[in-house]
Structure 1
C-alpha cells in the first residue's frame, strides 16, 4: 500500500487505486500523512479544512470523513501493512510504516545523496527521488493556508533536490545536463536566485558566457520590478565570478560548447539552438532553429522480474545496434507469438545497455494488441517531445510536424527508443529517430515486414521456451526446491503451457496461491483441455486474453481460417490440409495462411509446413473465431 503526497493525494494497493472521495476527505488524509504516527487534534483538522468560519456541524463532518477513510483503508487491506487509523480522545492517529509515504521516501533518498562528495552515486539517488513526483504537491486538497504552506514546503524540497542533482552532474563534468535540469526550474521559478545562480555557472562552464550574463540581468530586472530589491549575495557572487574569469581570460573552454551549440534567444526569451550548417532545420520552425535540450528522459519500465535465458536473442539485439552501417540509425524488431516474452526481452536488454545511451531512453506502449484502438503516432510523439523538454505549447498538432521536430531534437543525441506492442509498420515509422547515434527496438506480434523492407529493420525472433528453460523459469517463480520435488511434473507443465513464459507465469501464480499443491496436481488439472485456458490466467493476465487481442486484429476471413485450422488433429498441416479444413482451394487460402504466420498464430517451420500450437487451437475452438475482428 503506497500513500502519495507528491502530486494528487492517492492510496494505491496491488489491486489499484482506492477511491478516497471528496476534497475534504482527501485533505483529512493528507494532514494525517503529513504528521504520521503523531496525534492530530480534531480542532487542527477543522482549522485546516475551512478557510473561513467553520460550520456548526464541522466536528461531525470531520468524524464522518475519518470513519469513511478508516473503512476505505480497511477494505484495501491496511491491517496487513501495519496501518491503523486510531481515535485518541479528540484527536486522531494514523499509525503506519513511514516508508509507505512517497514524501518520506523522497526525503530519505535526498538525504542519502552527496552531490559534491559522491556525485556518481548522487545522480541515480536524486533522479529516483524526483521521479516520485507526479505533479504539484498535495493536489486535490482544499485551498486553505495550512495546506498551501505545506505544499510550498514540499515544493521547496523538490527544488532543492533539483539543484542538488544539477550540482552532481556539474561535479561529473556533465554541465550540459546540469544546465538542462536548471533551465526548467529557473523558468518556472524566475525569482529563485539560487537556481538562477546555479544555471549561470553551468552555462558559463559550457562556454555560454553571454547566456549566463543574460540570466543575471533578466533576474535583476524581475527582482526590481516585482519585489523592489536588488540581487542577493549568491546571485551577485555568481555574476562576479564569471566577470573575474572573463577578465582573467579564463572563461569556460569554448571547445566544450562548440559554435553550433551557442544559444541565441528569441524575443520571448526562449532558449534556442541555431541549426547547424548543412543540417535541415525542423519543418515546424521557420526560423531554422530547434529548442535547446532541456531534459534527459528515463522512461523505461522496471526490469522484468525473474528474467531468465534468452542469451541468444539478447546477443542478437546487441549485434543489431553495434553492427549498423555508418550513418544509419539501427532498428531491431523483436517478434513472436502472444505471451512469448517480447516486452520482457526488450526491456531487459534496454536496462543492460542504458549506459550506452546517456542522452536518455524513451519507451511507449503502442497498444497494437490491446483492447480498444491502437495508439496514434501523434499521441506518442507528444509524450516524447514533452519528455525531451519541449514546452506543451510548442508541440505540433500534426503527426508529420511532430515527427520532424522529434527527429531534429534527437539528431545529435545518443538515445534509445523502445516501441512496445506495435500493430503495424505504418504506426512505427513516424516514431523513428533519424540520428545515427540513436537506436530503436520495436516489439510486435506481427513480423513488421514493411519495416524490414523500407527501414532495414533487423528481426529478432523469440520462440517458446524448451523444457530446460521452462523448468528453470518455474524454479525461479516457485523456488528450486518445489520444482526439484516434482521434476517430471515440471517438465509436463512446460509442455502443457506450450513453453510460453506468460502461460508458465500464470501456472506459477496458481501454484503460489496454493502452496500445498504439488506440481503434479496442477498438471493433472491442465490435462483437461476444457479447463486449461481458464487455469492459465491470473486476473487480467493470461493466454486467452493475449490471444483474444491477436484474433481481434484479424479480418473475418482470416479468423474463420484460424477456426478451421483448430479442428486439425495434431497441429501439423500444409496448404492442402488447411484448404481441406476450411473447405476451400489451396490458392484461395494461401494469403490468409501467410497472414496468420505473419501474426505468429501459426508457425511456418519450412516451405508449406505449418504448425499451430495447442493453446491457440484450444482458444480458436472455444471462441469460435469465425466472426473475426473485421479489422487490421
Structure 2
C-alpha cells in the first residue's frame, strides 16, 4: 500500500487505486500523512479544511470523513501493512510505516545524496527521488492557507533536489545534462535567482555564453518589473564570473571540463548535439501564445525552448531477482534491429496474468536504456486493473510534461496531444514502454512516429490490431519450466533452502503452473515462515480449496490477477470459461467445450478464440486447447460475475 502526496492525493494497492472520495476527505488524509504517527487535533483539521468560518456541523463532517477513510483503508487491506487510523479523544492518529509515504521516501533519498562529495552516486539517488513526483504536491486538497503552505514546502524540496541533481551532473562534467535539468525548472520558477545563476554557469560551460548572459538580463528585468528590486548577490556573482572568464580567455570553461575526484567524466549522450535547434533567446513564460495557435491556446508546433530538451527517465526500478527469459529478451533486442528504414519499431509482450510481462519489458528497457539517450517514457495504461483503463489523453499529458512542454501548452484533446507528442519526439532516440494495455485503440495515440524511437507494449490480450496496422512484433511469454521455476525459488529463498528439498521445489513449480507471480507469492509464504520446509507448503497447496488463497501475498496474487482478466470478458465468454473449468485434465477441443457449455460448437469456437486471445486458455495446436489448473480453480470458485456486460 503506497500513499502519495507528491502529486494527486492517492492510496494505491496491488489491485489498483483506492477511491478516496471528495476533496475534504482527501484533505483529511493528506493532513494525517503530513504528520504520520502523530496525533492531529480535530480543531486543526477543522481549521485546515475551512478557510473561512467553519459551519456549525464541522466536527460531524470531519468525523464522517475519518470514518469513511478508516473503512476505505480497511477494505484495501491496511491491517496487513501495519496501518491503523485511530481515534484518541478529540484527535486522530494515522499509524503506519513512514516508508509507505512517497514524501518520506523522497526526503530519505535526497538526504542520502551528496552531489559534491559523491556525484556519481548522487545522480541515481536524486533521479529516483524526483521520479516519485506525479504533479504538483497535494493536488486534490482544499485551497486553504495550511495546505498551500504545506504544498509550497514540498515544492521547495523538489526544487532543491533538482538543483542538487544539476550540481551532481556538473561535478561529473555533464554540463549539457545539468543545463537541461535546470532549464525547465528555471522557466517555471523565473524569480528563483540561485537556480538561474546555476543555469547560467551550466550554459556557459557548454560554450553558450550568449544564452547565459541573456538569462541574467531577462531575470534582472523580471525582478525589476515584478518586485521592484535588482539582482541578488548569487545572480550578480554568476554574471561577474562569466564576464571575468570571457576576458581571461574562457579559463573557467576550460577548468570545468577537468576530471573530477571520483573518476573521469562520462561523455554526455547529447554532447554531439550541443545547441541543435536552440533559439537565441529564452522563451518568456509570461508571453501568451501567438496568433495562429491551435484551438485552446495550443500552438500547432512544439513551443520553442532555450537549451537542450529534457531527458526523461520514467522507467520503474528494475525487477527484483529477475531470471531467465533470454529468448524473449533477445527477441525484443531484435525488433529495433530488424525494422525497415523509416519504421518506428514496436514490440508487444503478451501472455497470461502473472507470467511476468511487465518484469520482462522493464528488464529489457533498463538493459538497453543507453541506446535511447534522449529518454525513456513509461506508463501504466491500467488495462487490467480495477476501474476504468487510462485514457490516452491522460498518458499523453504526462509524456508531454516530462518532455518539457509547459502545462498551459498541453492540448486537451487526445488527437492534438498525440500530434504534438509525435512532433516533439520525431528526431529523438526515445524508448516508450506502455504497460498493461487493454486494446490496440488505447495504444495507437501513444505511439511515437520517429524512426529512432522504439515502443514496447505489454498486454494480456494479443493486440492483433497492432500487428495488423502497425507491424508490431509479438513476443509471447509462457509459464516457466521446472528448472527456471526452481531457479526463481532459489533466488527468492536462497539456494541452500531449495537444495535441501529439491523434489518439493519442483512440485511447488508444478502446483504454481510455472507462473512467476504464483511462485513469488509462494516464496513470500516461505520467507515469512523460515522454519517451514518446502514440502510443508507443497502439501498445503495440494488442497485445491486453499491453493489460490495461499498463492496470494496481501492483496497481490493469482486470484486478483485472474479476476481482472475475467472482468474484461463478456458475460457469454465468462460463462464459457466457467464451464471449461469442469474439464477433468484441462485438455479439450471445441466439441468437448460445446458439451461442457451445452452450446453450439460453432458459437463455442468463437468464444474459445476470444479466450485464447486473452490468454485464459492456450491453443496448443489446431483444435487442441488447454486451461491451466489455477485458471480452472479460479473459474470454479468465482464463476461468471453478475451484471457483466453482454457486449
Which residue in the other structure is 1:274 paired with? Answer: 288
The Cα offsets for residues 215-238 of structure 1, whole Å up to 9 and x where unpaired, read as 222211222234443324443344
- Equivalents in 2 of 1:591, 1:63: separation in Å? 53
SS at match of 2:94: strand
The Cα offsets for residues 107-164 of structure 1, whole Å up to 9 and x where unpaired, read as 7755665545654333223323444667778999999999999987776554444223
Which residue in the other structure is 1:441 paired with? Answer: 456
Q: Residues 224 and 606 from structure 1, CA distance in 2 versus in 1: closer, same or farther, beyond 3 angstroms? A: same
Contact 1:261 1:274 in 2 (8 A): no
CA deviation after TM superposition for structure 1 residue 472, in Å: 2.2
- Equivalents in 1 of 2:483, 2:262: separation in Å? 58
CA deviation after TM superposition for structure 1 residue 334, in Å: 0.8
SS at match of 1:460: strand
The Cα offsets for residues 576-631 of structure 1, whole Å up to 9 and x where unpaired, read as 33334344454333322222221111211122222221222222233333968436
Contact 2:174 2:267 in 1 (8 A): no
User: 596-605 or 60-69, which moves further after superposition?
Assistant: 60-69
Q: Residues 254 and 397 from structure 1, CA distance in 2 versus in 1: closer, same or farther, beyond 3 angstroms? A: farther
SS at match of 1:273: coil
User: 156-165 or 407-416, which moves further after superposition?
Assistant: 156-165
Q: Residues 579 and 473 from structure 1, CA distance in 2 versus in 1: closer, same or farther, beyond 3 angstroms? A: same
Q: Residues 399 and 78 from structure 1, CA distance in 2 versus in 1: closer, same or farther, beyond 3 angstroms? A: closer
User: 617-626 or 153-162, which moves further after superposition?
Assistant: 153-162
SS at match of 1:6: coil
CA deviation after TM superposition for structure 1 residue 335, in Å: 0.7
Q: Residues 433 and 243 from structure 1, CA distance in 2 versus in 1: closer, same or farther, beyond 3 angstroms? A: same
Contact 1:284 1:396 in 2 (8 A): no
Which residue in the other structure is 2:50 paired with? Answer: 50
User: 19-28 or 186-195, which moves further after superposition?
Assistant: 19-28
Q: Residues 35 and 532 from structure 1, CA distance in 2 versus in 1: closer, same or farther, beyond 3 angstroms? A: closer
Q: Residues 275 and 471 from structure 1, CA distance in 2 versus in 1: closer, same or farther, beyond 3 angstroms? A: farther
CA deviation after TM superposition for structure 1 residue 311, in Å: 1.9
SS at match of 1:117: coil
Q: Residues 167 and 277 from structure 1, CA distance in 2 versus in 1: closer, same or farther, beyond 3 angstroms? A: farther
Contact 2:3 2:11 in 1 (8 A): yes
Length, aligned pairs only: 621
CA deviation after TM superposition for structure 1 residue 445, in Å: 1.0
Q: Residues 208 and 465 from structure 1, CA distance in 2 versus in 1: closer, same or farther, beyond 3 angstroms? A: same
Contact 1:558 1:628 in 2 (8 A): no
The Cα offsets for residues 400-452 of structure 1, whole Å up to 9 and x where unpaired, read as 11111111122222222111111111111111111222221111111111111
The Cα offsets for residues 274-314 of structure 1, whole Å up to 9 and x where unpaired, read as 99999999x8349999xxxxxx3222223223322222222
- Equivalents in 1 of 2:205, 2:578: separation in Å? 66
CA deviation after TM superposition for structure 1 residue 550, in Å: 1.7
SS at match of 1:442: strand
CA deviation after TM superposition for structure 1 residue 256, in Å: 21
- Equivalents in 2 of 1:586, 1:469: separation in Å? 38
- Equivalents in 2 of 1:581, 1:52: separation in Å? 66
SS at match of 1:525: helix
SS at match of 1:277: coil
Contact 1:554 1:628 in 2 (8 A): no
The Cα offsets for residues 474-497 of structure 1, whole Å up to 9 and x where unpaired, read as 233333333333322222222122
The Cα offsets for residues 517-551 of structure 1, whole Å up to 9 and x where unpaired, read as 43333333332333333332333222222222222
Q: Residues 274 and 2 from structure 1, CA distance in 2 versus in 1: closer, same or farther, beyond 3 angstroms? A: closer
Rg comparison, structure with higher value: 1
- Equivalents in 2 of 1:558, 1:13: separation in Å? 28
Q: Residues 147 and 543 from structure 1, CA distance in 2 versus in 1: closer, same or farther, beyond 3 angstroms? A: closer
- Equivalents in 1 of 2:39, 2:632: separation in Å? 61
Contact 2:23 2:142 in 1 (8 A): yes
Q: Residues 17 and 195 from structure 1, CA distance in 2 versus in 1: closer, same or farther, beyond 3 angstroms? A: same
Contact 1:566 1:616 in 2 (8 A): yes
- Equivalents in 1 of 2:354, 2:496: separation in Å? 26
CA deviation after TM superposition for structure 1 residue 461, in Å: 0.9
Q: Residues 136 and 574 from structure 1, CA distance in 2 versus in 1: closer, same or farther, beyond 3 angstroms? A: closer
- Equivalents in 1 of 2:519, 2:526: separation in Å? 11
Which among 360, 373, 393 is matched to residue 408 of structure 2? 393
Contact 2:375 2:430 in 1 (8 A): yes
- Equivalents in 2 of 1:66, 1:426: separation in Å? 40
SS at match of 1:264: helix
Contact 1:494 1:504 in 2 (8 A): yes
The answer for unaligned runs of 5 or more in structure 2 is 250-259, 278-285, 306-310
Q: Residues 477 and 55 from structure 1, CA distance in 2 versus in 1: closer, same or farther, beyond 3 angstroms? A: same
Contact 1:316 1:460 in 2 (8 A): yes
- Equivalents in 2 of 1:253, 1:472: separation in Å? 41
Q: Residues 277 and 437 from structure 1, CA distance in 2 versus in 1: closer, same or farther, beyond 3 angstroms? A: farther
Contact 2:302 2:423 in 1 (8 A): no
Q: Residues 276 and 60 from structure 1, CA distance in 2 versus in 1: closer, same or farther, beyond 3 angstroms? A: closer
The answer for unaligned runs of 5 or more in structure 1 is 290-295
- Equivalents in 1 of 2:531, 2:362: separation in Å? 34
The Cα offsets for residues 162-217 of structure 1, whole Å up to 9 and x where unpaired, read as 22322333454544432332223323432332222222333445565554333222
Contact 2:7 2:133 in 1 (8 A): yes
User: 377-386 or 90-99, which moves further after superposition?
Assistant: 90-99
Contact 1:262 1:273 in 2 (8 A): no
- Equivalents in 1 of 2:262, 2:114: separation in Å? 29
Contact 1:85 1:92 in 2 (8 A): yes
The Cα offsets for residues 543-568 of structure 1, whole Å up to 9 and x where unpaired, read as 22222222222233333333333332
SS at match of 2:324: coil
Q: Residues 514 and 242 from structure 1, CA distance in 2 versus in 1: closer, same or farther, beyond 3 angstroms? A: closer
- Equivalents in 2 of 1:570, 1:462: separation in Å? 23
SS at match of 1:274: coil
Structure number with greater CO (CA < 8 Å, separation at least 6) is: 2
Q: Residues 265 and 150 from structure 1, CA distance in 2 versus in 1: closer, same or farther, beyond 3 angstroms? A: farther
